[in-house]
A = this chain, B = another copy of it.
Amino acid sequence: MSTGLGPIDNIAAELAKLPSIGRKTAQRLAYHIVSLPVEQVNALATALLEGRKTIRFCSECGNYATDEKCAICQNAERDHSQVCVVRDPRDVAAMERVHDYRGLYHVLHGVLSPMDGIGPGDINIKELLLRLRDDTVKEIIIATNPDIEGEATAAYIARLIKPLGVRVTRIAHGVPVGSDLEYADEVTLSKAIEGRRDL
């Protein structure tokens, strides 16, 4: 789907490498971008370059950070006795949008997946254990996704950490609030029954 215009094709080719941007969308965006004021294109390019250069991993929790430690780990007002374990930095952003959780995080940067050859040494599990050396952390809340890999990872971490005397919990899975029972899939319904509580 060449436009016959090299510079536009170059932009489209680079954009099409990004997730969820197909070749048609990439070409449409490329046409739009060359029609923008030079300042706006500069601002976009600078944001990309600066962003990639500035972002690093928090030495404590593995989340994205601009300093050696991320803003959450540096925040003394957060509850340092709770650590929520998630798969990647986007999950931290999702949890933070809720405003309910005031503890810290630990980003695994992946989940166990024997099919893809991802074992315990390939994700940040060792780093999680290191955080338990002093007795600050009292509870590990595992918030990996409720799929096969996420559940296996949760079970693996629980098995490692429980013997250390730290409480290990798993976020609840069930029928989403506001949704209809009729449309819930069987596994979710099964989880909802399994996780039932006394009223």
Residues of chain A at the chain B interface (Cβ within 8 Å): 1, 3-8, 10-11, 13-15, 17-21, 25, 27-34, 36, 38, 40-55, 64-66, 71-72, 89-90, 93, 96-97
Task: Chain B residues near A40: list those with CB within 8 A.
Answer: 14, 17
Partner of A34, one of B7, B64, B71: B64
Per DSSP, chain A at the interface is: helix
- Tell which of B29, B33, B45, B64 touches A5, judged by Cβ atoms closer than 8 Å: B64
Q: Which residues of B contact A51 (CB under 8 A)?
A: 7-8, 10-11, 30, 33-34
Q: How far is the CA of A31 from the CA of B29 in the complex (A)?
A: 19
Identical chains in the assembly: 2
Q: Does A44 contact B14, Cβ atoms closer than 8 Å?
A: yes
For residue A7, which residue of chain B has the nearest CB?
B51
The answer, among B36, B49, B96, for a CB contact under 8 Å with A42, is: B49
Contact B33 A41 (CB under 8 A): no
Q: Judging by beta carbons under 8 Å apart, are A18 and B32 in contact?
A: yes
| The one of B20, B29, B43, B93 that contacts A3, using a Cβ cutoff of 8 Å | B93
